[in-house]
């Protein structure tokens, strides 16, 4: 077949790393603006401008630029010096945190990445490739995109990783139903509730809806991540104040699990599952239950970093071994080739699962000082991801769409 045009771009990973390192992106913005054109060759510049705008905190402008670019060009490429394998990512039109951040996983590899943004109703531009992966998330805004991907890949000549039917199972209420019967695993029952029903929720209704417990409850808006809108409702009397600060119309509720360790600190883990095997990604330690890596101040605490380093170094014989059966069955039921899990351990030693999805960031941006143990672990994950791509592709360059 005739190759289709792929617009080259700097990409999300490199631009995010620059922002993470404290680089002022405004000079690059002005430089790219001076080079921008309205034709297909300028589309890559446009997508980079979209990312920079979002990294600078102007998401509306970034998304507006992206929409304008995708109206005429939807296929992009991250240059690779000497590629031995070609992967096609099928993405949705979303903000920079929406799709699987696959660029980070390919850091330093010999895999060339092309990304096709699937916009329902617009034509597909498919380059030659050896393996493909769906990187669009399960989100109300992406359901028509996932539908379109599902239709197109029915007779795809290459292996498709992370198919839409599996991605759709990652929403919190569906994931709970999928995993809750696994021995050694605790995942609180999660239900969707409208704003009006949450406003009138009482003790008895909470127990009726959740079955496995009532107040205190965890509440969060549907489609929220990274702690946005996450709160603990100790009693029905706290609902009014919570809703007064939230504009959303639909929420998830679940019972609160006190997962504090004997020393009173909370420990939350992120695992990444690649080709059926779990790997340590990071560990966050805090005196607060509502914890994610960025608010745990890991860089400021030598004892926390030492414990995280130990967690990574001993994962296979420690955490991974303790929960081997639960993890194995969870991976089997989720059925994705690649996904992440945020979890903890209960006071009785069960694996406590908070969420699993295909889009959480796995990266190697943390500096060697004070995190010398992170780069080797991340490269272990990246190597596993690349090995999976080669395995799924069979003979590299043997397949074309």
**DSSP secondary structure letters along 105-116:** HTTT-SEEEEEE
- How does residue 137 score in pLDDT terms, banded at 50, 70 and 90? very high
Q: Which of 362, 342, 345 is nearest to 172 (CA)?
A: 342
What's residue 226's pLDDT? Answer: 66
Average confidence (pLDDT) over 305-329: 98
**DSSP secondary structure letters along 106-165:** TTT-SEEEEEEE--TTS-------SEEEE-----GGGHHHHHHHHHHGGG-SS-EES-HH
Average confidence (pLDDT) over 40-67: 95
Topology match between the domains 189-255 and 266-392: no
Average confidence (pLDDT) over 18-43: 93
Q: Residue 380 is encoded by which pair of tokens?
A: 């272990």
**pLDDT of 274 strictly over 90:** yes
Domain ranges of the chain: 7-162, 189-255, 266-392
User: Which carries the bigger pLDDT value, residue 401 or residue 62?
Assistant: 62
Average confidence (pLDDT) over 266-286: 97
What's residue 135's pLDDT? Answer: 97
Q: At what angle do helices 43-55 and 12-20 cross, to 10 degrees?
A: 30
What's residue 224's pLDDT? Answer: 72
Which of 164-173, 214-223, 344-353, 391-400 has the lowest average pLDDT? Answer: 391-400
- How does residue 395 score in pLDDT terms, banded at 50, 70 and 90? low
What's residue 398's pLDDT? Answer: 43
Which of 44-48, 65-69, 136-140, 283-287 has the lowest average pLDDT? Answer: 136-140
What's residue 1's pLDDT? Answer: 39
User: Which carries the bigger pLDDT value, residue 266 or residue 396?
Assistant: 266
Average confidence (pLDDT) over 107-135: 94
CATH 1.10.3720.10 assigned to 266-392:
no
Average confidence (pLDDT) over 172-186: 93
**pLDDT of 107 strictly over 70:** yes
**pLDDT of 399 strictly over 50:** no
Structure-token match 């609180």, residue found: 188
Q: At what angle do helices 324-334 and 172-179 cross, to 10 degrees?
A: 120
CA distance 376 to 313: 10
Topology of 189-255 in CATH? Dna Ligase; domain 1 (3.30.1490)
Find the length of the chain. Answer: 401
pTM of the predicted model as reported, rounded to 2 decimal places: 0.93
- 236-249: string of b/e by CB count within 10 Å (b at 16+)? bebbeebbeebeee
Q: Residue 136 is encoded by which pair of tokens?
A: 């669009």
CA-based angle 144:229:15, to the nearest 5?
65
8 Å CB contact between 312 and 280? yes
- What percent of the chain lies above the pLDDT cut of 90? 83
**pLDDT of 401 strictly over 60:** no
Structure-token match 């809806």, residue found: 209
**pLDDT of 400 strictly over 90:** no
8 Å CB contact between 96 and 58? no
Average confidence (pLDDT) over 55-73: 96
- How does residue 328 score in pLDDT terms, banded at 50, 70 and 90? very high
- How does residue 125 score in pLDDT terms, banded at 50, 70 and 90? confident
What's the mean pLDDT when you consider all of the chain? 93
**pLDDT of 396 strictly over 90:** no
């Amino acid at each position: 077949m005739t190759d289709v045009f792929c617009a080259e771009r700097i990409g999300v990973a490199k631009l995010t790393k620059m922002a993470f390192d404290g680089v002022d992106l405004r000079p690059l913005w002005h430089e790219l603006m001076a080079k921008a054109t309205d034709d297909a060759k300028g589309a890559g510049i446009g997508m980079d401008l979209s990312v920079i705008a979002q990294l600078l905190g102007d998401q509306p402008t970034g998304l507006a630029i992206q929409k304008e670019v995708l109206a005429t060009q939807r296929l992009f490429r991250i240059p690779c010096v000497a590629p031995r394998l070609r992967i096609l990512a099928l993405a949705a039109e979303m903000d920079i945190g929406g799709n699987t951040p696959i660029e980070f996983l390919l850091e330093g590899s010999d895999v060339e990445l092309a990304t096709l943004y699937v916009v329902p109703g617009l034509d597909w531009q498919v380059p030659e490739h050896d393996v493909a992966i769906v990187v669009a998330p399960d989100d109300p805004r992406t359901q028509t995109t996932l539908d379109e991907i599902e239709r197109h890949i029915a007779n795809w000549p290459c292996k498709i990783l992370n198919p839409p039917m599996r991605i759709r199972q990652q929403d919190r209420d569906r994931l709970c139903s999928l995993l809750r019967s696994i021995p050694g695993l605790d995942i609180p029952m999660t239900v969707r509730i409208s704003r009006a029903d949450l406003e009138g929720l009482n003790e008895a209704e909470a127990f009726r809806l959740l079955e496995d417990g009532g107040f205190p409850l965890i509440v969060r808006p549907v489609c929220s991540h990274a702690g946005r809108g996450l709160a603990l409702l100790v009693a029905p009397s706290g609902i009014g104040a919570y809703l007064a600060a939230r504009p959303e119309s639909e929420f998830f509720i679940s019972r609160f699990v006190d997962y504090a360790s004997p020393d009173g600190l909370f420990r939350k883990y992120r695992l990444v599952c690649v080709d059926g095997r779990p790997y340590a990604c990071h560990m966050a330690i805090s005196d607060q239950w509502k914890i994610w890596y960025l608010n745990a101040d890991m860089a400021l605490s030598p004892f926390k970093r030492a414990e995280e380093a130990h967690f990574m170094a001993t994962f296979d014989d420690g955490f991974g071994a303790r929960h081997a059966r639960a993890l194995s069955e969870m991976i089997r039921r989720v059925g994705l080739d690649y996904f992440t899990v945020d979890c903890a351990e209960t006071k009785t030693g069960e694996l406590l699962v908070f969420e699993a999805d295909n889009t959480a960031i796995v990266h190697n941006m943390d500096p060697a000082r004070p995190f010398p143990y992170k780069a080797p672990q991340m490269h272990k994950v990246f190597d596993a991801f690349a090995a999976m791509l080669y395995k799924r592709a069979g003979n590299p360059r043997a397949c074309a769409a």
